[in-house]
Amino acid sequence: LKYEIYYQEYLEAIEATLTEYLPVQVNHPPVIHEAIRYAVLQGGKRFRPVLTLAACEAAGGDFRQALIPAVALEMIHASSLVHDDLPSLDNDLMRRGKPSCHVQFGEPIAILVGDSLLVMAFHILTKLDSPQQVQELLDEISTAAGTYGMIGGQAADLLTPREELTIPILDYISTHKTGKLIKASTVSGAIAAGAPQKVRNQLLKCGECLGLAFQSVDDLLDKDGYTRLMKDKEIRQKVRDLIATAKREVRSLGSQADKLTALADFLLKRMP
Of the candidate spans 53-61, 82-90, 105-113, 189-197, the one that interacts with ligand GRG by CB under 6 A turns out to be 82-90
Q: Kindly tell me the sign of the dihedral angle through the C-alpha atoms of 122, 125, 130, 136.
A: negative
Q: Is 200 in the site for ligand GRG (CB under 6 A)?
A: no
Of the candidate spans 14-22, 144-152, 201-209, 263-271, the one that interacts with ligand GRG by CB under 6 A turns out to be 144-152
Q: Is 145 in the site for ligand GRG (CB under 6 A)?
A: yes
Amino acid 238 reads: K
Site size toward ligand GRG (CB under 6 A) is 22
Instruction: Report, in Å, the least distance between residue 96 CB and ligand GRG.
Output: 5
Select from 218, 262, 266, 271 the one that contacts ligand GRG (CB under 6 A): 218
Backbone angles phi, psi at 46, to 5 degrees: 60, 35
Query: What is the rounded distance in angstroms from the CA atom of residue 237 to the CA atom of residue 214?
Result: 13
CB-wise, 68 or 150, nearer to ligand GRG?
A: 150
Select from 3, 10, 38, 47 the one that contacts ligand GRG (CB under 6 A): 47
CB-wise, 202 or 216, nearer to ligand GRG?
A: 216
Of the candidate spans 40-48, 124-132, 229-237, 262-270, the one that interacts with ligand GRG by CB under 6 A turns out to be 40-48
Q: Kindly tell me the sign of the dihedral angle through the C-alpha atoms of 123, 73, 139, 159.
A: negative
Instruction: Report, in Å, the least distance between residue 84 CB and ligand GRG.
Output: 4
Instruction: Report, in Å, the least distance between residue 271 CB and ligand GRG.
Output: 13
Of the candidate spans 55-63, 72-80, 99-107, 225-233, the one that interacts with ligand GRG by CB under 6 A turns out to be 72-80
CB-wise, 195 or 214, nearer to ligand GRG?
A: 214
Instruction: Report, in Å, the least distance between residue 192 CB and ligand GRG.
Output: 20
Which parts of this chain interact with ligand GRG (CB under 6 A)?
44-45, 47, 76-77, 79-81, 83-84, 89, 96, 114, 118, 145, 150-151, 154, 177-178, 215, 218
